[in-house]
Structure 1
Amino acid sequence: MLVQVCLYFYCKCLWRCLKFVVRKLTGRCELQRICYNIKPGASRTMKIETSLKGSKTKLLQTEVSVHPDAIEKTIDDIMDLKKINPDINPQLGVSLQGCLLQIVGYRNLIAEVEKLRREPYDSDNSQHEEMLLKLWKCLKPNSPLEARISKQWCEIGFQGDDPKTDFRGMGLLGLYNLLYFAELDTVVAQQVLFDSLQPKYRQVMIEAWEKVSSDQSYSSCSYSFAIVGINITDLVYNLLVSGALKTHFYNVAPEAPTLSHFQQTFCYLMHEFHKFWIEEDPLDIMEFNRVREKFHKRIIKQLQNPDMALCPHFAASESLINM
């Protein structure tokens, strides 16, 4: 253990010495070299984030968690600390600002998403109820809902006659995502729903509902639109919290990633999982976890590419831009 610690500090010291030598040779600090030599996007922002977090200066370490309104002052502080003349290096400030907006925005997005996930669905809340009824209207515009408590909810992939019980795991986040998909990419959402109701999958859904009633661990493991939507919400949430989505968001959001970016990613993954499920052609619901895990690994692998953008031209994204 002592040898490992000594080796760690030796490597760290060697690395700092190397950076010092490079700065003397180039006349530029590490932040300058990153901003000038790496194109905008995930590669640049992630290297800036690593550089700030790994700095021996406490001020730089804390810059990744400042308030968005304090970013401009933060840039000034960095320039002063590094003795960089902003008049001679005007582009550096712009580049650093863009990176910090993404870094701070990602952290704030996690907090916003977590807040929605922790808020339970409340049937006494008129806003929650309005969103739920709107979801039905978007997916089944030609089929009026006969009653708030109704077996009709199973037609869009909920377990029983009251959808509120299905939002337990992901809270309001699951409903927000489903409604976003149904509203902003209605054609695709309705097609996914239609496919899930075909005879080939109908028995799968029935078995899933029966399994859910006897085993809570399978509460979202079925090929039914709403339940899978909540399950994919869980997948996107975990990708976000783990940091895996930094690659995607830093490439598609020129500034701070927002809840809309998160929901667009959900729409894309919902659509991709639907295609993946059909390609895998599982025998029954018991294969759901296998298919989901295989899909998850594929997305993780894609996100390891620093140039990856999961859905740069996805319909929901285009709709948002045109709003």
Structure 2
Amino acid sequence: MVSIKQIASDMGVSTATISNALTGKGRVSQELVTRIQTRAEELGYRPSIAARALKTGQTGILGLVMPDLTNPLFPRIAQTLSIQADKRKLGILIADSRGSADEQSEALRRLLDRGVDGLIVVPQKGTTPDPMPVPVAVLNTASDPGNSVSADHSGGGALVARHILDIGHRKVVILGGDQVSEVQRDRIAGMTDALPSDIGVDVFWGDAGVEKSVAMVQTGATAIMTTSDLIALQVRTELMRTQISVPDQVSLTGFDDMSFSSIMHPALTTVAQNVDEIASRAIDIISAKISGNMPDHEGETVPMQLVVRQSTSIPNHIFSRRPPR
């Protein structure tokens, strides 16, 4: 492994100059910093985490706890956080709490044992991470008092509800997965708040809610809005089983714009998180906390984006009222 001494000897400067150029400390001209960084990269230099920890008390490693890596959304968030950390020359250790509050606590402790400088937590629904001896950034939702940064889940709910309203639906079903989830409650609150009082709205939860939602379509509901693309996929399967056509007989929406949403048949209208912006802000917040500074904009939410595809359309009864051309 190439050392600072070897780089110094190669370039004919002191080890102190090399160290300052590579750590951003000391008074070294930008031209020389660039030359040193380029040469260090050419020689294959990699800083020693152990040496850095001894010198600065920090490892340059963050811990990330995710609630369930079998959900397609969470690996995408983890990857984006890792990319943003890489840009700041930070590493990330990832732990999966696998749907368990107890495992979440254990995962946090395991990461602490590995000497992480700070923790980023996407908490289990209905939980608050244990107090930690290192800085923590929480990615959850606006209704969580401990939230550091998140998508504007309520605003996303309003976006999709206004879309359903604008294309003519007046009897709708809203379906959530788990009432314990702050994220799903905020999404449903955004939907219901955006709908006027003369709109017929029924809210259901869980697997039983899927069957109830389909039954409501059979009695006149023309749109089903769900709190996740996974739930929408489950509803689509049940609608196919009962031979109800999407969007001819009922419009269907999801949330999170997961990878399969665009290849469903029909392609799913959904709401997308700006994962890049959320990840960038999260890394900035935890980095500021580790440095002992007050983070900018902690607690703010990032706007979501409506993605309109083929699973939503004007209700059939509106088409039937249109005069022939």
- Shorter-chain TM-score category? under 0.3
**Higher gyration radius (CA):** 2
Q: Which has the higher contact order (CA 8 A, sep 6+)?
A: 1
Q: Which has the higher strand share?
A: 2
User: TM-score, structure 2 length as denominator?
Assistant: 0.25
TM-score norm. by structure 1 comes to 0.25
Greater helix fraction, Structure 1 or Structure 2? 1
